[in-house]
Amino acid sequence: MDFAFDARTEELRTKLLAFMDGYVHPAEVTDHEQRALLASPWDTPQVVEDLKAEARRRGLWNLFLPDAEYGAGLTNLQYAPLAEITGRSPHLAPTALNCAAPDTGNMEVLAQFGSDEQKKRWLEPLLAGEIRSAFAMTEPEVASSDATNIETRIEREGDEYVITGRKWYISGAMNPDCKIFIVMGKTDPANADVRRQQSMVLVPRDTPGVEIRRAMQVYGYEDHSHGGHAEVVFHGARVPASNLVGEESGGFAIAQARLGPGRIHHCMRLIGMAERAIELMCRRAVSRTAFGKPIAQQGVVQEWIADARVAVEQLRLLVLKTAWLMDTVGNRGAHTEIQAIKIATPRTVVGIIDDAVQLHGAGGVSQDFPLAELWAAARTLRLADGPDEVHQRSLARRELKKYL
């Protein structure tokens, strides 16, 4: 077993670390300052555009896309340590490298299932970082962790599809640069096979009947840097039939294909978030004194730091094994491991960030450290892309099957 990164990964790691230190981390404060002055809080600040241009110039662009025709052509194992590094600044670095969710998953869907026309119109500007996109599946009225519950209708009328329904927590949709939605809904609600009822269609933002109703908050944050999370209502919005993605009734399968890579990318970045929290925790612990000795000398603090290091090393190994399996036996073959990391990583990292918050005292919940934002971002990942319990149920069933 060889634990070393290959030459290409090492070269990109070196470049990326230099970019993070020289550009991304210094831009974290500028980003907050510029956002406060924007006409609309959902606009993209200039500093983000500058980071994108610099990342592209340095060849740090579309690293997530294994398809060499469209992206960097890296394997999951090569991309994993790079995504981890971007996780150290999760609100800026993934966007700077054009590697941010939900665009990444949407680009993968278009690259894999899009028609030539769809690729030209939407994939090309997304790959160039000229526009953003959203993925609209979750609905407020139904338990959407079970995708068969989705109620939005996509009805064929002549040469068009008519979309009617209400979605929420649609990431990125508040940003005016978000020009296209991939919408999941039912074209065939009577189909006896509940996994063949859904389809996906492309709905441009400016389609009449598309209402961006309101921004959804995350623990009271607007989550501006993410492009927000919107409630979106489709009032009989009409799109040409050629906007169907893949085949009719194939939406469920596309959603499954989309979520595998998305889940591992989240876990990779979460490990970077944990590393940032450990670094902050250690710096604070050695620089503050309470009751006559540095906080770092308190036994309980040493326990937090040691446990965090052990947990991160365990998570990283499991994530790398999962990446390797996805590369060698495919996403289906890596199903159990993808679920295992999606269960283990967010909740463990939430705990590590929480300890770091505690160690910082009031500073931990303040705007002067990134910990509060990191905590909120990590906590949502116990829900997004499938709640923990759904993955636990499915993993346990597969495990039990061996004994039945």
Ligand X SMILES: Cc1cc2nc3c(=O)[nH]c(=O)nc-3n(C[C@H](O)[C@H](O)[C@H](O)COP(=O)(O)OP(=O)(O)OC[C@H]3O[C@@H](n4cnc5c(N)ncnc54)[C@H](O)[C@@H]3O)c2cc1C
Question: Residue 389 interacts with ligand X (CB under 6 A)?
Answer: yes
Alpha-carbon distance of 75 to 64, in angstroms, equals: 9
Question: Residue 336 interacts with ligand X (CB under 6 A)?
Answer: no
Q: Tell me the window of 63-71, 283-291, 296-304, 382-390 that interacts with ligand X (CB under 6 A).
A: 382-390
Q: Tell me the window of 3-11, 15-23, 266-274, 383-391 that interacts with ligand X (CB under 6 A).
A: 383-391
Alpha-carbon distance of 13 to 80, in angstroms, equals: 10
Alpha-carbon distance of 243 to 113, in angstroms, equals: 12
Question: Residue 319 interacts with ligand X (CB under 6 A)?
Answer: no
Alpha-carbon distance of 394 to 6, in angstroms, equals: 34
Question: Residue 132 interacts with ligand X (CB under 6 A)?
Answer: no
Q: Tell me the window of 57-65, 139-147, 150-158, 236-244 that interacts with ligand X (CB under 6 A).
A: 139-147
Query: Is residue 136 within 8 Å of 231, Cβ to Cβ?
Result: no
Question: Residue 396 interacts with ligand X (CB under 6 A)?
Answer: no
Query: What is the nearest approach in angstroms of ligand X to the Cβ of residue 214?
Result: 15
* Distances in whole angstroms, Cα of residue 4 to Cα of each of 10, 81, 180, 323, 379: 9, 11, 40, 14, 31
Question: Residue 296 interacts with ligand X (CB under 6 A)?
Answer: no
Query: What is the nearest approach in angstroms of ligand X to the Cβ of residue 262?
Result: 10
Whether the link from the prior residue into 26 is cis, omega within 30° of 0, is: no
Question: Residue 380 interacts with ligand X (CB under 6 A)?
Answer: yes
Tell me the two tokens of residue 208: 């009449």
Query: What is the nearest approach in angstroms of ligand X to the Cβ of residue 132?
Result: 12
The four Cα atoms 104, 108, 110, 112 give a dihedral, to 10 degrees, of 180
Burial 115-153 (b: 16+ CB within 10 A, else e): eeebbebbbeebbebebbbbbbbbbeeeebeebeebebb
Q: Which lies closer to ligand X via its Cβ, residue 78 or residue 171?
A: 171
3 state SS for 101-144? CCHHHHHHHHHHHCCHHHHHHHHHHHHCCCCEEEEECCCCCCCC
Q: Tell me the window of 169-177, 203-211, 262-270, 339-347 that interacts with ligand X (CB under 6 A).
A: 169-177
Query: What is the nearest approach in angstroms of ligand X to the Cβ of residue 260?
Result: 15
Question: Residue 229 interacts with ligand X (CB under 6 A)?
Answer: yes
Q: Which lies closer to ligand X via its Cβ, residue 84 or residue 139?
A: 139
List 77, 150, 384, 395, residue binding ligand X (CB under 6 A):
384
Site for ligand X in 274-293 (CB under 6 A): none
Tell me the two tokens of residue 333: 């073959």
> CA angle, 345 as apex, 342 and 349 as ends, to 5°?
145
Question: Residue 106 interacts with ligand X (CB under 6 A)?
Answer: no
Residues 6+ apart with CB under 8 A from 358: 304, 364
Question: Residue 105 interacts with ligand X (CB under 6 A)?
Answer: no
List 102, 228, 251, 261, residue binding ligand X (CB under 6 A):
102
Question: Residue 218 interacts with ligand X (CB under 6 A)?
Answer: yes
Inter-axis angle of helices 76-86 and 7-19, nearest 10: 20
Question: Residue 176 interacts with ligand X (CB under 6 A)?
Answer: no
Question: Residue 135 interacts with ligand X (CB under 6 A)?
Answer: yes
Question: Residue 171 interacts with ligand X (CB under 6 A)?
Answer: yes
List 145, 164, 249, 358, residue binding ligand X (CB under 6 A):
145
Catalog residues that contact ligand X under the rule CB under 6 A: 102, 135-138, 143-145, 169-171, 218, 229, 380, 383-387, 389-390, 393
